[in-house]
Chains A and B, each alone.
Chain A
Amino acid sequence: MSDQQGPPSSMDVFLRGLWQENPVFVMLLGTCPTLAVTNKVINCFAMGVSVMFVLVMSGLLISLLRSFIPKQVRIASFIIIIATFVTIVDYAIQSISLDLYDSLGAFIQLIVVNCIILGRAEAFASKNGPAKSMLDAVGMGLGFTFALLCLGVIREALGNGTLMMDTPFEISLFGPNFAPWSIMILPPGGFFVLGLELILFAWLRKRREQRRAQTAQA
């Protein structure tokens, strides 16, 4: 896909964020919230959805306004737009559930400085039309959510023996006598799981490239 010439198709724009240019596993962006909030699956969902909302809305607005924004103040303008939507998300989560708001802590407000959002604003939305920008934002948002869930599922399963704890859909995986691996819920667990998953994804990518090289030779 990446070696094709010319502007990428809509499908490629969408899929790129999910896998090929996955913000966390490939571009290593937004690792701070990735490490911080992934100790519960519900946090991963909430964080992923919040980031996706901010991505889509700011992408749309920036792409619509892209020809009105002078180059010198573009970063400042992007930050104003992003901060607006982050504050909206902040209010929204407070009005939905205070418990969720408490467990996400400062990381909702910190979406403002999340590299993924400013990065997509600068690299994509300010240079493409609204439809494509939104597609790109949804792809990146889903890619980010996918990455958070990859960490969150493992950390919550091993660290607490459940999936979806603190929600009505809580599933106990190992029964009541499970010995939780507390380290998985603590910050070191985030680093370990992220490191191991980076190895896994790098290995998958390498294997696929090798296979492609083989088929190209044959």
Chain B
Amino acid sequence: MTTQAQAAAAPAAQHNSGGSIPMLRTLGGLALLSGCLLSLVYQGTNERIARNFEARVRDAVFELLPGATQQKVFEFSGSDEAGKDTPFTAYAGYDDTGRLVGVALEASDGNGYGGEIRFLYGYQPDTQQVVGMKVLLCKETPGLGDRIKTDEAFLDNFKALEVPLADDASALAHPLAYAKPGKGGGPGQIEGISGATISSKAVARAMHNSASLMLPVIRKHLSELQENKP
């Protein structure tokens, strides 16, 4: 290798005498080349990547709201626990006849085991139930925390989770909270997965925060959602 290295170093050494112009020329040229190449690739993939992100949400909405065949996006805002105005997006799903099936809402919590956990849940305003949950973003440990995506017993928590609003429709009637595996069953309790306590707790927390922020707003705008069919 040494002889090769010496031989190869010879042509490179010739450039040393030329001052900084060849260096600038080389780096500039490479940067230009790189920029052109990247903008080409970006043009080629941009649309597809955006479509992937959209499809991820759209498919999740249809999956969460059984019977829905059309959807429409609404932007609302509500005040969170601290009283701060927080905007959020509601994905309303409608069936063939244009009847509102339900709304898919987003929830997230930054304190999972591996950082942020973000998921969508389906909400049916007429039954006041959460009817399903689908994880969108999860950096939890594969095989442990990421069972929140697949564990059937855990997902069953969200098949028919009662989330009634209090009488004045400004808050939840009861909080949604984490319960130890096998110890849940009470109103608003979300049974965790053993071995994935931190991830399950993060989901329960996200669920509570999101529901208490968004559900009263959805109730307020229900007629708007029902009438503005796509």
Contacts and interface: CB of A to CB of B under 8 A. Distances in A.
Per the CB under 8 Å rule, do A and B touch in the complex?
A: yes
Given A68-B26, A80-B30, A94 B45 contact: yes
Given A71-B13, A81-B30, A105 B139 contact: yes
Contacts, number: 95
Nearest to B144: A182
Interface in A171-218: 180, 182, 185-186
Contacts of A128: 4, 8
Contacts of A40: 142
Interface string A151-169: 0000000011000000000
A69 interface: yes
Given A91-B49, A94-B49, A185-B142, A73 B8 contact: no
B141 interface: yes
B221 interface: no
A153 B4 CA distance: 38
B53 A185 contact: no
A69 B26 contact: yes
Contact of A88 (B9, B18, B38, B49): B38
Interface in A45-93: 65-74, 76-77, 80-81, 83-84, 87-88, 91-92
A103 interface: yes
B153 interface: no
Contacts of A66: 8, 12
B220 interface: no
Contacts of B48: 95
A1 interface: no
A102 interface: yes
A69 B12 contact: yes
A84 B45 contact: no
Contacts of A83: 34
Interface of B: 1, 4-5, 7-9, 11-13, 15-16, 18, 22-23, 26-27, 30-31, 33-34, 37-38, 41-42, 45, 48-49, 52-53, 56, 137-139, 141-144, 195
Given A68-B26, A92-B45, A182-B141, 11 more contacts: A66-B8, A69-B12, A72-B16, A77-B30, A80-B34, A84-B34, A91-B45, A95-B48, A97-B52, A102-B138, A123-B1
Interface of A: 7, 39-40, 65-74, 76-77, 80-81, 83-84, 87-88, 91-92, 94-95, 97-98, 102-103, 105, 123, 126-128, 159-160, 180, 182, 185-186
